[in-house]
Structure 1
Amino acid sequence: MKETPDKSFWDAPHRPLFLLAAVWAALVPLVWLFLDLSNDPVGWHRQEMILGFAGAAMGGYLLTALRHWLKQAGQGAKGPGRHAVQGLVLSWLFGRIAAGQPGDGPMVLLGIAAYPLGLALCLLSPVLSARLWRRMPISLAPVGLLAVGVGLRLGGDGLAAALAMALIVAVVGGRIVPAFLASRAGQATPPQRGALPAMARLADALLALALVSHLAGLSDGVTGGLLLATAAGQVARVGRWPLAAGLAGAQGDLLMLVLAWVWLPVGLTLTAVGLILPDALAGLPLPTGLHTLTMGLMGGMIMAVMARAYMRRAPGVLLAGTGLVLAFALITISTLLRLILYAKPVALSVPATFWCLGWAVFALCALRSMAGPAPHPVLSAARG
């Protein structure tokens, strides 16, 4: 039976949450363009890119995926209703107000925690009811995101936050990107759907170990060495992906995903060099390598996934329009400029401007799509 598309803005969780993510991504870097907006632009910027931007995007993605999980389990395409989604949006807005307050008092931390904990509850309740035990770890991902955000709030450890977000992208993106490629290549059942290949598991384990190494206070050389090893592993795992067949015809939706993924090994390598040989690469500072992971990998992958909800549908194919391609290009250019202009702090407003423009264009594309019903499936094309 053909599913009835969602007609209400609130019936499709990705609509309000993806829109919030795009708008917030466009607004947060303004602290670099107008420095008097915040007393602590560095801390607020880091925190809000994790809890505000990535948090809203994660919510839209996971609540959309939840319907698919429940349908596979024979539970129907059910999930949190519109009132639950409205409550999540309100808690997200409350969290942004709380995050802008000074200090680390209980009310501030409670406000920051409201949305991630509410999202985890909306995911865990139906997952437990349907006994989808293997979905429990990803249902707890919002709690991990909260831990990263609170860690930034209390300790300001940018390296730990960047590595944690890279790990989330590696674990989630490392599953969905090859699955989409395999589907486009005509493989009805993507290879290794249930279990990752050994190289992928090893690469992710090394990245987790590098994060633990840093948190445990081991030397930068140890952490950097682990990052170099995981960068090599992340490159090697791509060898099992059906890139040639999946990218045949230069489909923009898959090309965005693959290009965003490229920033993972690049960012890990630059971060490793910054830790092991801080004077190498013409003195490339560590924060520049970390921005490769946050702007290029996290920002690029989030946009590439969210954009799929707004692409035109053809049998078995998603068609990226000019606006979405432009938005992704601007994000890519902003990352490249952040690398090129690292030695000129005065010029860092340039990549920030490109980033803001990219997300503003994306937000306009999202708003334009609201005129019609939400597509089903939301993040992939129906088989032809």
Structure 2
Amino acid sequence: MPPLNIEERTPTPSPNGFALFALGFRPFFLAAGIAAVALLAGWLHSYSSGTPLSNYYGFVGWHSHEMLFGYVLAVVAGFLLTAVRNWTGIDTPSGTPLMLLFLLWAAGRITPLFSELIPAPLIALIDLAFVPALGVAAGTPLVRAKQKNNAIFLLIIALLTIANLMIHLEALDIAPTGKSGINLAVGMIVLLVAVLGGRVIPFFTERGLGNVKTHSWPWVEKSAIGTLLLLVVTEQLLPDTVAVALVAIFATLIHAFRLYGWLPLRTARTPLLWVLHIAYLWIVIGLLFKALVIFDIIPSVLALHALTVGGIGMMTLGMMARVAIGHTGREMVIGHSIAFAFALVGIAAVIRVLLPLSMMDQYPLLITLSGVAWITAFSIFVVVYLPILIRPRIDGRPG
């Protein structure tokens, strides 16, 4: 099954009109970019002042939950609603249904900020409704098309729903499952990155470089997905044990070898490619760091942010940039500003993850500098891609 049918077109003057709800990537990618800026800005203010922005989730809980179920899930929603239509040939929500789905996502971001006014169970219900609604919107075409090879996306959505429920159970003082829920959510998103990465990174690399053949081995592909699933299960059943470290080390080796086969060193002159390869390298680093955490070599927060800031952050920004220009009929090239934004997210990861290894005494400053780099990167994305996302395709086709 092809990854995303990204069409390349010669640029023509962009037509007038408003097309924000023509296809899923449009509202959700724009919202993701805005959320990436607003959520980090809010977190930096909260961190510096010591005042939580949401009493519902708590000081750290709001940041963790919103970056995963606010920013990342917006990217996932935009990607799946767009990709599923290509994979199946069956329309996903557009127009009013898409707008209602988007408003449900937005309500989940806003209501926790008014926890003094809105009952906690209602906040939980609104936020918990989005992921299953996305599952119905993206899953119905997959079921109708009987695409069993894409069933893993339905599994991931189901487990993300469970992870979100675990976080809300702690927020509602029902069960202390918040940390496990965050770990499960991160694990599912990393799994999603690995599944999609296996489909699109070698495909895009071969198309982007030309006369290049990447290497893929069936046993590596199966092991890459299998080790991540095993790692998630091990972390849930045997948290903070040597078993987690052993699985993480094996996963590190498998994913490093997988990345090697995709010829990452050949992509240095192509930003739309190197951003994906470097993002996957951060996944490898994050898996290794997970093992080091078990042996008390590094703090767990560094492993978490290697996966989230470096791996998920760079991958999502790179995919949004590529999908948006491809599905609006534009030529598959980006300007220097977006390449700079890619680099800034990588810099944010280095500051947040690697510099503390030797500068832990400057940790608060490093958090701030990393956050500023992240905010600048996504501000650039929003400014550059706003007209692309709200206007109709330049080739006059629907979507």
Map of 1:176-215 to 2, 5 A cutoff?
176-186=200-210, 197-215=218-236
Task: Pick which of 288-297 and 7-16 moved more.
Answer: 7-16
1:107 equivalent to 2:118? Answer no
Corresponding position of 2:280: 261
Match among 52, 64, 70 for residue 52 of structure 1: 70
CA distance in 2, matches of 1:160, 1:3: 37
Corresponding position of 1:85: 98
CA distance in 1, matches of 2:40, 2:330: 37
CA drift at 1:275: 1.3
TM-score, scaled to structure 2: 0.81
**Structure 2, unaligned runs of 5 or more:** 1-6, 10-14, 171-176
1:144 equivalent to 2:144? Answer no
Q: Which has the higher contact order (CA 8 A, sep 6+)?
A: 2
Q: Over residues 287-342 of structure 1, what are the superposed CA-to-partner deviations in whole Å (9 max), with x where a residue is unaligned? A: 112111011001110001001134489x9962121221121111111111112146
Count of aligned positions: 361
Identity score, percent: 25
Map of 1:21-60 to 2, 5 A cutoff?
21-35=32-46, 36=51, 37-39=53-55, 40-60=58-78
Q: Is the 8 A contact 1:14 1:61 kept in 2?
A: yes
CA drift at 1:133: 3.2
1:12 equivalent to 2:20? Answer no
Map of 1:159-238 to 2, 5 A cutoff?
159-186=183-210, 197-217=218-238, 219-238=240-259
Match among 126, 149, 166 for residue 141 of structure 2: 126
With over 3 angstroms needed to count, the CA separation of the structure-2 counterparts of 1:220 and 1:377, relative to structure 1, is farther
Q: Over residues 6-49 of structure 1, what are the superposed CA-to-partner deviations in whole Å (9 max), with x where a residue is unaligned? A: 96221122111000111111111224321233442310010011
Q: Is the 8 A contact 2:249 2:287 kept in 1?
A: yes
Q: Is the 8 A contact 1:10 1:82 kept in 2?
A: yes
Q: Is the 8 A contact 1:312 1:320 kept in 2?
A: no
Q: Is the 8 A contact 1:300 1:332 kept in 2?
A: yes
With over 3 angstroms needed to count, the CA separation of the structure-2 counterparts of 1:83 and 1:377, relative to structure 1, is same
Match among 325, 331, 335 for residue 321 of structure 1: 335
CA drift at 1:373: 2.7
Moved over 6 A (4+): 2-7, 187-192, 375-378
Partner SS, residue 250 of structure 1 = coil
Q: Is the 8 A contact 2:8 2:331 kept in 1?
A: no
Root-mean-square deviation (Å):
3.2
Map of 1:292-311 to 2, 5 A cutoff?
292-311=306-325
TM-score, scaled to structure 1: 0.84
Q: What letter is aligned with 1:138? A: F
**Structure 1, unaligned runs of 5 or more:** 379-384
With over 3 angstroms needed to count, the CA separation of the structure-2 counterparts of 1:312 and 1:60, relative to structure 1, is closer
CA distance in 2, matches of 1:271, 1:3: 39
